[in-house]
Each structure stands twice: as structure tokens, then as C-alpha cells.
């Protein structure tokens, strides 16, 4: 007889948390889902002992990283994560899933071939890595800890750079056709990955991504296609892009390689990729 799992999501109202909750609720016979906020330590009022799984998606992201915010980043992304994980463990929760970040490998990491070769270049990435190290040390036979390090997440209503790419794809007449290896993950694919972690009581470090890379050029072209907008991709602009990668931070982030080697992301035989790239863009514009 299948036992329903009780799941608590910390980070109520967040984009990722809301989507995970909605995804799990598609399987009402398998999961009972609740979510709580973390502002002003609201999570401390909750009795974790009634849950089998805690998914921690709370954190600071998508804001400009400035020195005056350093302490806040570490307080939320590291210290609070550790506190929530420790509380879950002491309360008898069986599994803890933490949404970490690809930024633990650097803000511009090239091609990551070893998931244990972390090299953060910002205190955002470092705060996530420090949390990962502590919570992974809590893994034991009765408490499974997962650190999920997704690349850029996109989908309808998401934050980050994707809304800007949508504007480009819907308005610009021309865009560079620049070769690039870039890891991404569609929000539904991430949610299914989390669901499979729960079903398999998985533990360890994970680097999920879409089944294929997608360059910024490919993204913008697909957005234009499903928005009914004509855009011309040209290699004539590539010399300027190449120079911009060397000199301008924004151009580097947009067009330089930033990817996991595909071999790092074959957990569950890739079955978490339930939505193709083309279909994901169609759903997201």
C-alpha cells in the first residue's frame, strides 16, 4: 500500500515554491502539501514533526549584489537554511531538499564537469555553498539531505533574465547568432525533478538541467517564433559580441558559455524532462 507523503515547503509565495506546490498537488493521492513563509522567522511557529519532507526554497536572489547586503545574504541563504535543516532533522523529518544554485561554481562558470569543484565568485554563490556544506554533513541513515543546484530557471511569470529575453524576442528586428553552451531548466522540469527526489528518498548533490543546451540566440529566436514576431539572427554581429564578452559584464553573462556537462544531469535517466525546449518556450511567452 502506497503511503502518502506529507511535504512542507518553506518559502510560501515564491515563484519556485508556488510551482512546486502546484505540481505536487497534481498527485493528491501521493502528497499532502503545505507551505509557510520565512519572513520574521514565521517558520519557527510550525511543528515540523508532522511532515516527512521539507523543501526549502526560501532565499535571496534576483537583486543586485552589493557589499552592504553581504550580511543579509549570509543570514538568509546560509544561516536560516542551516537552522531549518537542523530543525527538520531534530523533528524526525525524513528528507530535506534545499534549492541551492549553479552559482556555487562561479557566476560565469564555463563548462562544469565535476559537481564537487565549486568555485563561487560572489557572496551569493558562497552563501549557498556554505549552506550546502553544512547541511550535507547532516546526511545519515535516517535523514536524507538533497542540495539541488539548478542553472537559470525560466517559465511563465519567472524573475531573472528571462523576462528581458522575452522583450528582445518580441520587439527586436535583429539579434546576434552567437554559438554558446548554456544550461537552463524549465520550471515544470525542475518541479518533476523535485518530485522524483521525494519518491526515491534521494540524498546528495544534484545538477538538473533541460535535456539540451540552449544559447541566448536560440532562446530569443524561439521566443520570437511563438510570439508571432519575425527576427533575423545574424553572425555579422558576432565580432562585437566576442569583444563585448571580454569587456562588458552584461554581454559576458548573456553570451559566454555557462553550462553543466550533460553527464552531470542524467539522474532518473533524464525522465524529469517532461517538457521539451520548444514546448517550454511556447508555454512561457
pLDDT in tens, 188-221: 999 999 999 999 999 999 999 999 999 999 999 9
Stronger pLDDT, 65 or 40, i.e. the higher one: 40
Residue 40: per-residue pLDDT: 84
CATH code where residue 100 lies? 3.40.50.720
pLDDT band at 135 (very low <50, low <70, confident <90, very high): very high
Q: Is residue 128 part of a domain?
A: yes
Strands (E), 93-246: 95-99, 110-112, 144-148, 152-154, 174-176, 184-186, 204-206, 232-234
Report residue 178 CA to chain centroid gap.
24
Residue 250: per-residue pLDDT: 87
Q: Is residue 9 part of a domain?
A: yes
Query: Structurally, how many domains does the chain consist of?
Result: 1
Query: Does residue 1 carry a pLDDT above 60?
Result: no
Q: Is residue 217 part of a domain?
A: no
Q: Is residue 241 part of a domain?
A: no
Q: Is residue 112 part of a domain?
A: yes
Q: Is residue 93 part of a domain?
A: yes
Nearest to 152 by CA among 101, 76, 211: 101
Domain containing 27 equals: 5-155+186-209+262-274
Query: Does residue 31 carry a pLDDT above 80?
Result: yes
Query: Does residue 258 carry a pLDDT above 90?
Result: yes
Stronger pLDDT, 39 or 167, i.e. the higher one: 167
Residue-averaged pLDDT of the chain: 95
pLDDT band at 59 (very low <50, low <70, confident <90, very high): confident
Residue 2: per-residue pLDDT: 62
Q: Is residue 230 part of a domain?
A: no
pTM of the predicted protein model? 0.95
Q: Is residue 53 part of a domain?
A: yes
Residue 68: per-residue pLDDT: 76
In eight-state DSSP terms, residue 140 is: B
Strands 31-36, 53-56: pairing kind: unpaired
- For 101-114, how does the pLDDT look when each residue is reduced to its tens digit (9 = 90+)? 999 999 888 999 99
Mean pLDDT of 258-279: 97
Mean pLDDT of 50-70: 84
**Do residues 151 and 102 lie in contact, with contact meaning Cβ atoms separated by under 8 Å?**
yes
3-state DSSP assignment of residue 94: coil
Amino acid at each position: 500500500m502506497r503511503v502518502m507523503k506529507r511535504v512542507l515547503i518553506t518559502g510560501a509565495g515564491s515563484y519556485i515554491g508556488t510551482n512546486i506546490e502546484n505540481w505536487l498537488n497534481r498527485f493528491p493521492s501521493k502528497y499532502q502539501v503545505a507551505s509557510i513563509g520565512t519572513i520574521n522567522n514565521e517558520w519557527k511557529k510550525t511543528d515540523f514533526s508532522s511532515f516527512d519532507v521539507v523543501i526549502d526554497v526560501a532565499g535571496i536572489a534576483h537583486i543586485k549584489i552589493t557589499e552592504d547586503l553581504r550580511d543579509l545574504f549570509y543570514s538568509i541563504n546560509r544561516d536560516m537554511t542551516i537552522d531549518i535543516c537542523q530543525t527538520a532533522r531534530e523533528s524526525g523529518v525524513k528528507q530535506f531538499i534545499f534549492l541551492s544554485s549553479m552559482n556555487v561554481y562561479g557566476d560565469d562558470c564555463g563548462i562544469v564537469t565535476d559537481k564537487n569543484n565549486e568555485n563561487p565568485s560572489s557572496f551569493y554563490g558562497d552563501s549557498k555553498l556554505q549552506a550546502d556544506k553544512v547541511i550535507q554533513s547532516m546526511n545519515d541513515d535516517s535523514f536524507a539531505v538533497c542540495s539541488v543546484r539548478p542553472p537559470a530557471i525560466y517559465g511563465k511569470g519567472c524573475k531573472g533574465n528571462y523576462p528581458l529575453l522575452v522583450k528582445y524576442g518580441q520587439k527586436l528586428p535583429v539579434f546576434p547568432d552567437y554559438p554558446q553552451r548554456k544550461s537552463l531548466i524549465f520550471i515544470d522540469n525542475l518541479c518533476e525533478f523535485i518530485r522524483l527526489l521525494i519518491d526515491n528518498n534521494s540524498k546528495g548533490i544534484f545538477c538538473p538541467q533541460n535535456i539540451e543546451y540552449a544559447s541566448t540566440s536560440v532562446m530569443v529566436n524561439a521566443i520570437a517564433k511563438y510570439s508571432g514576431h519575425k527576427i533575423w539572427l545574424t553572425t555579422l554581429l558576432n565580432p562585437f559580441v566576442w569583444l563585448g564578452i571580454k569587456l562588458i559584464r552584461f554581454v559576458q553573462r548573456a553570451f559566454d558559455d555557462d553550462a553543466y556537462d550533460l553527464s552531470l544531469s542524467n539522474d532518473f535517466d533524464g525522465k524529469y524532462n517532461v517538457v521539451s525546449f520548444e514546448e517550454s518556450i511556447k508555454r512561457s511567452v
